[in-house]
Every structure is written in structure tokens, then in C-alpha cells.
A and B are shown apart, each in its own frame.
Chain A
């Protein structure tokens, strides 16, 4: 091969490698800005590169070979974390699970790391799902009466409230009201108010639900946000819960110039700390 041709090949090789290097670094900077404003994280069990961690602690999780990508736990609570490239506005968690006998299953976002502080939202409440009373729905709010006495929720709330079980709903000044927990027996009550939507049944006993959190419901730790799955009393012979899928969608406004400036400022502030 002539020297001139060899030099040309080396020159192109060098140019290609330099271009690749610069392009890669620019792409990483650009990707960190999440210009579309949306990123989807998918859990991959046992993969160290997965953006969503496996359930932990290990002592509450059962590892069975036949479970494949599923995760099974028998003790409460269990946690998982998600890596995020930057801050967002909304966090939507989509979970598919199987629940044997656990009456209440909740998903929580870790709001503080200094203490036990989680924002809990319902995944499944079998007590409400199996209620046989006549019920009315007002958006996410469910109002049930053992014997229909009130026309609607407004009429009920206008009266003095008594013998009411509530869930994920605030009732002010009611001494005889009780929050529904895993041991609640609804026969002790006349009314139920809950801010709750049943999970979607996706067949073979599997349930699916999307839960939305605000970004302020999380305490970002380095580049991680944390979640909890609460199954109170599951250790008392209530079987196991199998998580089949965890997908997290992070949403924010698409990137514009102001957003870019804000991102740069936030990172400079972080570097100063």
C-alpha cells in the first residue's frame, strides 16, 4: 500500500474516531436534558443495568427459579428504587401483580429520608372490591351505604357523620369513623367512603394499575427515587404477592430554552454544594 493512501486511511480513521467521541459526549449531554419531556423505565429482574431495582430487602423476597422475571414477596414492606436522569413533574407507576389473600396493597413514594415518610396510594383493596352494598361513584370517590338512606354523597356529608369506614379519604370530626385497615369488618359500619379505583383485571388473577405521583412526593437521593409496597399483615397467613411488571413513566414539559437555562443553573447549584 502506498504511503499516501495509508496516510489518508489513518486520517479518516482519526477523523471518524474524533467525530464519534464528540458526538457521543454531545448526545449524552442532550439525553440528560430529556428534551421530549418523557422517559419510560422498565424493570429487568437481576439486571445491574436496570433503571428500576429489584425488590429489597432480600429477607422479605422469595426467589423461585420458575418465577422468571417475576418478583415474589411474603413480608411487609418491600422497597424498590428508580434511577432518574433529572427532575420531572409527574411520575406514573404501572404495576401488574397477583395477590393471593392480602386485603390491602399500597404503593408509596419516599418523601423524606430523615424519617419514615411515604406518600401511600392504594393499589388494591379487596375489602372495597368485594363490598356488596349499593355504591355510587363520584370520580375517584366511592360512597356505599349498607341500607340506602341518602340520595347522594352531598346529602350524607351534610348530616352528622357516624358509623362510617373510610379509606384514602379525610372525614373531619368523626369519632365513630374508622380508617379501613386489613382487619376491618364492614358489618360494624353503615357507610363507606373511599377515594379508590379498583385495579384492572388482566386475567388469570392478575391485576394492573397506574398510579400517578407528583415529583414533590419524592426525595431525590443522588439520582434515585424510592418506592415502597405496603401489604400490612401479609405475614399473618395472607399468602404472597407476585409482581409481574413495574414500569415507570417520568413526565415533564418538553425542553425549551428557559428549561435549558433552569437545568444548567440547577446543576451548577448542585456542584457548588
Chain B
């Protein structure tokens, strides 16, 4: 079960990382494009949280 959760966290880590990058890029191209509707920092926090779990747990190095 622990393995499964760690693998799911790896998926979340990858997706939230890409999503954060895309959303902040869109926000850079046009101010308010993303932030008018949703706070992109939410995805940054998800990314950081999943990154911390990924970084400090064993067996989740297979990214």
C-alpha cells in the first residue's frame, strides 16, 4: 500500500510540476490570464508538497 501511495505521489509530483510551469508561463505572457480565475500558487504548493514526499522517502526515486 505504501508503495502504491508513493507511486501515486510521484504521478502527482510530475503532473503538478508541469501544470505549475504551464500556468505560470501563461500568467507571464498575459497578466491575470490565470490568476483572474484561479490562484496558480495552489498548484505550486501541491508540487512542493509532493516534491518533499518524493525527496524524503525511499523507493520513490523511479520518476
Contacts and interface: CB of A to CB of B under 8 A. Distances in A.
A83 B32 contact: yes
Interface string B14-25: 010011001100
Contacts of A10: 4, 7-8, 11
B31 A24 contact: no
Contacts of B1: 1
B43 to A, nearest CB: 9
A222 B31 contact: yes
Contact of A28 (B3, B11, B37): B37
A255 interface: no
A267 B26 CA distance: 12
A25 interface: yes
Given A1-B4, A9-B4, A32 B36 contact: yes
Which applies to chain A's interface (DSSP): helix, strand, loop or mixed? helix
Interface stretch (A11-19, A107-115, A168-176): A11-19
Given A6-B3, A13-B8, A223-B30, A24 B19 contact: yes
B33 A17 contact: no
Contact of A17 (B4, B15, B22, B39): B15
A271 B3 CA distance: 46
A25 B22 contact: yes
A239 interface: no
Interface string A14-40: 100110110011011001100000000
Contacts of B22: 21, 25
A27 B26 CA distance: 13
B47 to A, nearest CB: 12
Count class of interface residues, chain B: 20 to 34
A259 interface: no
Q: Which of A6, A28, A31, A32 has the most CB of B within 10 A?
A: A28
Nearest to A21: B19
Contacts of B44: none
Contacts of A14: 11, 15
Contacts of B23: 25, 28
Q: Which of A1, A9, A10, A17 has the most CB of B within 10 A?
A: A17
B15 A18 contact: yes
Interface in B3-60: 3-4, 7-8, 11-12, 15, 18-19, 22-23, 26, 29-34, 36-39
B42 to A, nearest CB: 11
Interface of A: 1, 6, 9-10, 13-14, 17-18, 20-21, 24-25, 27-28, 31-32, 49, 51, 83-85, 222-223, 267, 270-271
Minimum-distance CB pairs A-B, first 5? A223-B32, A17-B15, A222-B31, A85-B36, A21-B19
Interface of B: 1, 3-4, 7-8, 11-12, 15, 18-19, 22-23, 26, 29-34, 36-39
Given A25-B19, A84-B32, A85-B37, 19 more contacts: A6-B7, A9-B4, A9-B8, A17-B15, A21-B19, A24-B38, A25-B23, A27-B37, A28-B23, A28-B33, A28-B34, A28-B37, A31-B37, A51-B36, A83-B32, A85-B33, A222-B32, A223-B32, A223-B36
